[in-house]
């Protein structure tokens, strides 16, 4: 399948957000990646549902909502109401992960699990078949612009082996430190979805950069 590119809105220009949204609309990007941070699970606060709702009114591509929050179950329905087409929750925050994933799927949208850098992929062995997506964090969550963690490649490869062994259709998404230099290596390891923040929005020609990521 073709690589899915999901520019991270966290790195966009919030003083002129509509311009960056239209740029993504007009590019080869596939999804909008939206990081919702609570300042508790991660050491930062980003944006909430009013901003997501405003983006959904302009966006012409699916909203990939990444809940970097404690107790994500409380906010699944609200996320759907404001336009989420994909919701991912952290393994580290869900006491009853199977129930949480099923709750998301009950809204007929894609459901995924996120793993922090320290969390091994083997923890998903008994739930992988109901996950549409597994998002591998290649930096510690909370801030953009961090250095890519090299261990990510082997982690992706292990997850790919698990997916193939179980004959699942689960997509592997990677978030953190994705660049034009490492994109092809990530795809070769097994990644299907690349989240790119600074690489896209700090580019002098973001539409071209998105196109280059797409072809990596």
Residue 74, domain CATH:
3.20.20.70
Catalytic residues: 35, 175
pLDDT, residue 114, reads: 98
Half-sphere exposure of 167 (CA within 13 A, CB side): 0
Count structural domains, the chain. Answer: 1
Q: Which domain holds residue 195?
A: 4-214
pLDDT, residue 186, reads: 98
pLDDT, residue 144, reads: 62
Query: At 127, is the pLDDT very low, low, confident or very high (cuts 50, 70, 90)?
Result: very high
Helix (H) or strand (E) holding 197: none
Is 145's pLDDT higher than 90? Answer: no
Q: Rounded to whole angstroms, how far apart are CA atoms 80 and 86?
A: 9
Query: At 147, is the pLDDT very low, low, confident or very high (cuts 50, 70, 90)?
Result: confident
Judge whether 159 and 172 are in contact, CB under 8 Å.
yes
Tokens of 194: 């690349």
Torsion of CA 216, 25, 80, 167, to 10 degrees: -30
- The mean pLDDT of 143-167, rounded to a whole number, is 90
């Amino acid at each position: 399948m073709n690589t899915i590119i999901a520019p991270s809105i966290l790195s966009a220009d919030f003083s002129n957000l509509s311009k960056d949204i239209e740029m993504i609309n007009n590019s080869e990007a596939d999804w909008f990646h939206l990081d919702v941070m609570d300042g508790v699970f991660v050491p930062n606060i980003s944006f909430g549902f009013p901003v997501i709702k405003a983006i959904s009114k302009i966006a012409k591509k699916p909203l990939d909502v990444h809940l970097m929050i404690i107790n994500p179950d409380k906010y699944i329905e609200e996320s759907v109401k404001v336009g989420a087409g994909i919701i991912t929750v952290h393994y580290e925050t869900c006491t009853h992960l199977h129930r949480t994933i099923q709750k998301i799927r009950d809204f007929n949208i894609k459901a995924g699990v996120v793993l922090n850098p320290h969390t091994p992929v083997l923890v998903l062995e008994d739930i992988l078949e109901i996950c549409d997506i597994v998002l591998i964090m290649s930096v510690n969550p909370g801030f953009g612009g961090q250095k890519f963690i090299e261990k990510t490649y082997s982690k992706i490869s292990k997850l790919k082996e698990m997916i193939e062994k179980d004959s699942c259709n689960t997509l592997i998404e990677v978030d953190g430190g994705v660049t034009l230099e490492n994109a092809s290596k990530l795809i070769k390891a097994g990644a299907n979805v690349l989240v790119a923040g600074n690489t896209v929005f700090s580019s002098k020609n973001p539409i071209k950069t998105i196109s280059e990521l797409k072809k990596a």
